[in-house]
Amino acid sequence: MALELTHVSSLVRAPLVDRDGGRIGRVVDVIVRVGTAAHPPITGLIVRIGGRELFVKIAKIAQLSPNRVVFAAERVDLRKFERRPGELLLAKDLMARHLINLVGGRLITANEIELAQVDGTWEVVGVDAGRRPLLRRLLPGRLSSHIHPKALVDWESIEPFVGHVPSARLRIPYRKLAKLHPAQIADLVEAASHEEGEEIIEAVGADRELEADVFEELDVEHQAEFVNSRSDVEAARLMSRMAPDEAADLIAAVDQERRMAVLELLPAPQRQKVRNLLSYHPDTAGGVMSPDFIVLPETANVADALDAIRTSSAAHESLQLIFVVDAGGLPVGQVTPVALIRANPASLITTVQRPNAAKVYVDNDLDQVARKLSDFNLMAIPVLDRATKMVVGVVTIDDVIDVLLPQGWRRDLAGDEDQA
């Protein structure tokens, strides 16, 4: 059986009347308690009576219907409303504001908040982010109050921003955001206001690794926006957990007068990698490569290679190729993890390697790198020092895509998906 929905907008400014229909005052807002149930229960109303805003418990309301709220008690408690921890005012705090839709990781706007009575309890059941509520308020009486089921976003998948309501003492739960991919969280940050973005970053900060992953996915503009608001120590702590190539991009976004101080606070191994990467032009293979990769001698066997993958701290995408070098350290071949898994662990790595045909140099531009990846149908490619001919890094296809595609491409794509 379908629930009968009541719009919050139809309750705000509705008359508060007694059982005989005599006007007592009017409704100002609807109060809910969040965090205790999947659908927040209504705890009461804020009503204006004689110029004062008072609190009325929901238990004293006999009828909560559009454009008419019936008061059931004999008299009104003259106690002034004071917000308690965990309470939100639906109209003031949430209406027309951004909310996070955790299904797919999207920001939506609460154009309407829908209530329903379930088993005798009034609760928030969902949010309508469509245009119809706006039109309904602009053209009252001309549009049906009916809501299409597909337009209703269930509250269970909603997370509100409450940074603008400090007295509510609420924060976005980390456990909910952690279910999203770092790229989805970054999209949320980029689509949100600065204050909302800070709230998201603060939430994921409960997991330092996830926080670093999210920063890696942010565009340069937002990276600079958030890192420049942090102390040198906080910025260095964040960069120490990022991939060296991403940390180099981020430190380049730091205000110039702070860069050296932040760089000096990085752990020595990370600091050296970042320094090396900063010496290359950002639009070259050297500028986007990762210095973390696996190199093995020709004498290694398949089991050695698999052990090296298991113990490596390099990012997963940097391990799509394992490089084989001769006694002088020059590359002679490369092998994929899939080939290693399928091979006899006792076999020499040279028996499963493929020729070292595809490579780029540190000074190759990104168009050259992209063409080489496309020509050889590769997901990653080794980067060689032009003087020594040794492997100094690896470029993955996502490194090239992130640089070559225009700023905001992910957000544009998300908009296209929403219209599909």
Q: What is the pLDDT along the chain (420 residues), one digit of tens a residue?
A: 467 889 999 999 999 999 889 999 999 999 999 877 889 999 999 999 988 899 999 999 999 988 889 998 877 777 788 888 888 999 999 998 999 999 989 999 999 999 999 999 999 999 998 876 665 555 554 444 555 555 689 999 999 887 766 555 567 888 889 999 999 999 999 999 999 999 999 999 889 999 999 998 898 889 888 888 889 999 999 999 999 998 998 898 888 899 999 999 999 999 999 999 999 998 999 999 999 999 999 999 999 999 999 999 888 888 999 999 999 999 999 999 999 999 999 999 999 998 877 899 999 999 999 999 999 888 899 999 999 999 999 999 988 887 776 655 555 555 544 444
Angstrom distance (rounded) from CA 196 to CA 414: 19
What letter would DSSP give residue 91? I
Amino acid occupying residue 233: V
Handedness of CA 46, 48, 51, 52 (dihedral sign): negative
Three-state DSSP at 57 gives: strand
Of 2.30.110.20, 3.40.50.11810, 2.30.30.240, 2.60.40.10, the CATH number of 10-160 is 2.30.30.240
Tokens of 123: 């609760």
Domain boundaries, the chain: 10-160, 194-281, 295-403
- CB-based contacts of 294-297 (< 8 A; 24+ apart in sequence): 294/319, 294/322, 294/323, 295/322, 295/323, 295/324, 295/325, 295/391, 296/322, 296/323, 296/324, 296/325, 296/349, 297/324, 297/325, 297/326, 297/327
Let me know if domain 295-403 sits in CATH 3.10.580.10.
Answer: yes
How is domain 194-281 classified at the CATH fold level? MgtE N-terminal fold (1.25.60)
Cβ-based neighbour number of residue 389 at 10 Å: 13
Angstrom distance (rounded) from CA 4 to CA 17: 22
Angstrom distance (rounded) from CA 420 to CA 188: 20
Q: What phi and psi values does residue 42 have, to the nearest 5 degrees? A: -75, 125
pTM over 0.75: yes
Amino acid occupying residue 126: G
H or E stretch at 45 = strand 42-49
Angstrom distance (rounded) from CA 400 to CA 413: 18
